[in-house]
Amino acid sequence: MPSPEPVRLGRKRVLPSCPNPLFLRWLTELRDEAKEKGLKIQYTYQKAISSLNKYPLPLQNAKEAKILQNFGDGICKILDDKLQQYLREHGPDAPIHSLPEGAPPPGRRDNNSLAPSKKKNAAGDHGKDKGGGGGARKKKREYVPQKRSGGYAVLLTLYRQSQIPGSKGFMFKMELQAEAQRLCDKSFTVPDLGSKYTAWSSVSTLIQKNFVIKTHNPARYSLTEEGLALAERLDSVEQTKAGSEGDREEEQEEEEEEEEEEGGPGLVDLTADDDDDDEEKKEDRIHPAENPTCAEQPRSEAEGFSGKSQNSRAASGKPNAERLQPGTYEIILCVDFIETTGGSHHRKQELVKELQRNGVNFDVRKLNVGDFLWIAREKLAPVPGQLRAPAGRELVLDYIIERKRMDDLCGSIIDGRFREQKFRLKRCGLRKPCYLVEECGSAASHLSLPESTLQQAIVNTQVVDGFFVKRVQDVRESAAYLTVMTRYLTKLYQNCALICRSRELEGDGGSDEEERGTPSCSLISFAEFNHGAVKNKCQTVREVFARQLMQISGLSGDKAAAILEQYSTPHSLLTAYDRCASEAEKEKLLSSIRYGKLKRNLGPALSRTVYQLYCTQGALS
């Protein structure tokens, strides 16, 4: 048997030899010079060093290094110049794959070459990098999320959910956001003003560092082995702190009990009479009407959304209905973050400034459909000791606005987005969709479509599709309209008790009220609304079939919906075609289907087009 290798004592480990030590030494010198001057190119040199350390073959010249990552023309030219100078000094036959005698090893720095300030830092940091390989060999810092950050909350939530007996081992996005919000100071759904990032943005970092894994569609999030270990450490630290705080609270309670037993100051009212207390209790039992109970009084802000009282259940007609009583919520305008960032930044910031100047209470967040809408947000008092007030429940009012400039309208008509947007607005669950059209003035004459076509599209949107259309001249008028609408809705809903309903309950609550001109008081939550309006979510066969039908020229959303009521899938439509006795009957199969409010027939021309699309073998003529 071969003799075992001798054990090396000490902290230094043997580094593998680099086949290109000259290039490595020159890159290290360039990096150190840039670092001492405070130049950002030091990071480029460091990346090139890392790539060169991983390359196992010798290079004959710097041009061959272009195949490596982070080696551009500039670095290769510098290395070639240094190589030519090296050959002039040591001769054309000098070895380039080994260092000259007495030269320091590559990747290490001589303390004599350090600037005075760097020497001081090196002497002060000797305990952090003993026996290491210099700056290039610095130990990588372990990733630990900051307390009450997005990553911290997600890791702890997934870990604690996995410890529950019978746990499914994963969480969906919405339930993960709802559970993790209690452990995070930043919102998971609402970005800060002027930013597009939320606490949920840290999940991509967790996935990249292999702490969290994302699978399936809809997405499922679960912990990896590394994430489980890190989350367990975070939870143990949290439990330790919670235990110490609990001990302090128990000590305080014991002290208070001792003070009560000893008759501590401020705890016993010496002027009160026991007989008076007994008489008050007796009067409460005999005359309950003179002392109204909590159920008869207006509910407090903290109770506003619980909906647990008998009065709220009786008023709603549904058990456990979630309600917002008048005075327990505020009306807030929600602005899509696309309307405040990117594109024409000056014009979009002008909208924000106008809203601020008008004193509008608004919030910038991501909206999956529409540009503006209004929510009723529960008002909750701040909790002592917490930085931010707890997040209240949010219900979406039945008004949503899509803003269109004339140039944007022209582009959306050309690429087909306009019809799809109208279809999504009708299906978003809100009953009052609106288009806010900004005129471009003289700019409309330079668009790809004639102005008459654009005007016809606007009229069709109002008359045929049933949208309310408001025309304004510029951004300032748009802000003025949003301001007026916000104040109008605040007054309209000020005496309404709002009930939370599910989006699946179509037509639940409010049709009678709408006919009388009063607002609907049965609303869906913002989280359910925004999740249901995701554009690229997993679609059913029925939804894909509807999108296919709407690609046919002249087939609007109402016509597609009417076809889907009769034939919900392509298979059911093809089966109906097979039952027809002749070609003429197949072509007229859909012609008698009625659509829209006027219940007009679909017509033979459109019926023939759909038949040809789905039943013609080969290319369409």
| Confidence at residue 108, expressed as pLDDT on a 0 to 100 scale | 42
Checking DSSP bridges between strand 362-365 and strand 323-324, what pairing results, if any?
A: unpaired
Which H or E run contains 93?
none
| Confidence at residue 312, expressed as pLDDT on a 0 to 100 scale | 37
- Name which of 187, 172, 180, 189 is nearest 155 in CA terms: 180
- The mean pLDDT of 421-430, rounded to a whole number, is 86
Residue 43 has pLDDT above 70, yes or no: yes
Task: Indicate the pLDDT class of residue 37, thresholds 50, 70 and 90.
Answer: confident
Most confident range, picked from 210-214, 316-320, 416-420: 210-214
CA 579 from centroid of its chain's CA atoms:
49
Task: Indicate the pLDDT class of residue 448, thresholds 50, 70 and 90.
Answer: confident
| Confidence at residue 484, expressed as pLDDT on a 0 to 100 scale | 95
* Close Cβ partners of 441 (under 8 Å, ≥ 6 residues apart): 473
Residue 615 has pLDDT above 70, yes or no: yes
Mean pLDDT rounded to a whole number for the chain: 76
pTM of the model: 0.44
Task: Indicate the pLDDT class of residue 106, thresholds 50, 70 and 90.
Answer: low
* Close Cβ partners of 360 (under 8 Å, ≥ 6 residues apart): 333, 482, 483, 486
| Confidence at residue 542, expressed as pLDDT on a 0 to 100 scale | 86
| Confidence at residue 281, expressed as pLDDT on a 0 to 100 scale | 42
Tokens of residue 145, six digits: 């999320």
Tokens of residue 236, six digits: 């143990």
Task: Indicate the pLDDT class of residue 253, thresholds 50, 70 and 90.
Answer: low
Judge contact between 348 and 479, C-beta under 8 A. no
φ, ψ (nearest 5 deg) of residue 362: -130, 165
Long-range pairs for 64-68 at CB < 8 Å and ≥24 separation?
65/23
Q: How far is CA 218 from CA 104, 116, 211, 548, in A?
A: 57, 58, 20, 23
Residue 567 has pLDDT above 90, yes or no: yes
Task: Indicate the pLDDT class of residue 267, thresholds 50, 70 and 90.
Answer: very low
Residue 208 has pLDDT above 70, yes or no: yes
| Confidence at residue 588, expressed as pLDDT on a 0 to 100 scale | 92
Range in 357-366, 417-426, 518-527 the model is least confident about: 518-527
Rounded to whole angstroms, the Cα distance separating 252 from 539 reads 57
H helices of 358-495, where? 406-415, 417-426, 451-463, 475-492
Neighbour-count burial of 409, counting CB atoms closer than 10 A to its CB (0-12 exposed, 13-18 middle, 19+ buried): buried
Rounded to whole angstroms, the Cα distance separating 349 from 342 reads 10
Tokens of residue 118, six digits: 């760097």
Residue 572 has pLDDT above 90, yes or no: yes
H helices of 358-433, where? 406-415, 417-426
Judge contact between 451 and 444, C-beta under 8 A. yes
Rounded to whole angstroms, the Cα distance separating 131 from 134 reads 8
Residue 598 has pLDDT above 60, yes or no: yes
Judge contact between 527 and 537, C-beta under 8 A. no
Residue 547 has pLDDT above 80, yes or no: yes
Length of the chain: 621
Beta bridge partners of 438: 405, 472
Task: Indicate the pLDDT class of residue 597, thresholds 50, 70 and 90.
Answer: confident
- The mean pLDDT of 182-194, rounded to a whole number, is 83
| Confidence at residue 255, expressed as pLDDT on a 0 to 100 scale | 56
Rounded to whole angstroms, the Cα distance separating 505 from 317 reads 15
Residue 439 has pLDDT above 70, yes or no: yes
Residue 467 has pLDDT above 70, yes or no: yes
Rounded to the nearest 10°, the torsion over CA 298, 303, 309, 315 is: 60
How many C-beta neighbours within 10 Å does residue 510 have? 18
| Confidence at residue 100, expressed as pLDDT on a 0 to 100 scale | 63
Tokens of residue 270, six digits: 């010496």
Task: Indicate the pLDDT class of residue 152, thresholds 50, 70 and 90.
Answer: very high
H helices of 290-387, where? 310-316, 345-357
* Close Cβ partners of 393 (under 8 Å, ≥ 6 residues apart): 305, 322, 324, 377, 378, 500, 525
Rounded to whole angstroms, the Cα distance separating 404 from 391 reads 32
Q: How far is CA 115 from CA 112, 120, 121, 132, in A?
A: 8, 9, 10, 20
- The mean pLDDT of 332-353, rounded to a whole number, is 78
Residue with tokens 């016509």: 559
Rounded to whole angstroms, the Cα distance separating 533 from 316 reads 27
CA 530 from centroid of its chain's CA atoms:
11
- Name which of 404, 400, 422, 403 is nearest 559 in CA terms: 422
| Confidence at residue 349, expressed as pLDDT on a 0 to 100 scale | 78
Identify whether 218 is preceded by a cis peptide bond (ω within 30 of 0): yes
Task: Indicate the pLDDT class of residue 7, thresholds 50, 70 and 90.
Answer: low
- The mean pLDDT of 525-551, rounded to a whole number, is 81
Residue with tokens 């979510």: 537
| Confidence at residue 472, expressed as pLDDT on a 0 to 100 scale | 93
Residue 141 has pLDDT above 80, yes or no: no
Residue 92 has pLDDT above 70, yes or no: yes
The span from the first CA to the last CA of the chain, in angstroms, equals 82
Q: How far is CA 293 from CA 215, 322, 325, 503, 549, in A?
A: 52, 21, 18, 35, 59
Range in 27-41, 335-349, 517-531 the model is least confident about: 335-349
Judge contact between 567 and 588, C-beta under 8 A. no
| Confidence at residue 115, expressed as pLDDT on a 0 to 100 scale | 41
Task: Indicate the pLDDT class of residue 582, thresholds 50, 70 and 90.
Answer: very high
> Which residue numbers are catalytic?
336, 339, 371
Buried b vs exposed e over 181-206: b needs ≥16 C-beta within 10 Å? bebbbbbbbbbeeeeeebbbebbeeb
Task: Indicate the pLDDT class of residue 304, thresholds 50, 70 and 90.
Answer: very low
* Close Cβ partners of 251 (under 8 Å, ≥ 6 residues apart): none
Sign of CA dihedral 310, 311, 312, 313: positive
- The mean pLDDT of 306-311, rounded to a whole number, is 36
* Close Cβ partners of 71 (under 8 Å, ≥ 6 residues apart): 48, 51, 65
- The mean pLDDT of 482-493, rounded to a whole number, is 94
Residue 111 has pLDDT above 90, yes or no: no
Rounded to whole angstroms, the Cα distance separating 589 from 576 reads 8
| Confidence at residue 240, expressed as pLDDT on a 0 to 100 scale | 79
Judge contact between 198 and 189, C-beta under 8 A. yes
- The mean pLDDT of 143-162, rounded to a whole number, is 91
Rounded to whole angstroms, the Cα distance separating 203 from 301 reads 34
| Confidence at residue 104, expressed as pLDDT on a 0 to 100 scale | 54
φ, ψ (nearest 5 deg) of residue 412: -70, -30
Residue 576 has pLDDT above 60, yes or no: yes
Residue 170 has pLDDT above 80, yes or no: yes
Residue 479 has pLDDT above 60, yes or no: yes
Which pLDDT tens digit goes with each residue over 378-404? 988 888 877 777 888 899 999 999 999
| Confidence at residue 537, expressed as pLDDT on a 0 to 100 scale | 60
Rounded to whole angstroms, the Cα distance separating 173 from 485 reads 33
Percent of the chain whose predicted confidence (pLDDT) is above 70: 71
Task: Indicate the pLDDT class of residue 531, thresholds 50, 70 and 90.
Answer: confident
Judge contact between 531 and 369, C-beta under 8 A. no
| Confidence at residue 343, expressed as pLDDT on a 0 to 100 scale | 57
- The mean pLDDT of 558-569, rounded to a whole number, is 91
Range in 248-262, 321-335, 468-482 the model is least confident about: 248-262
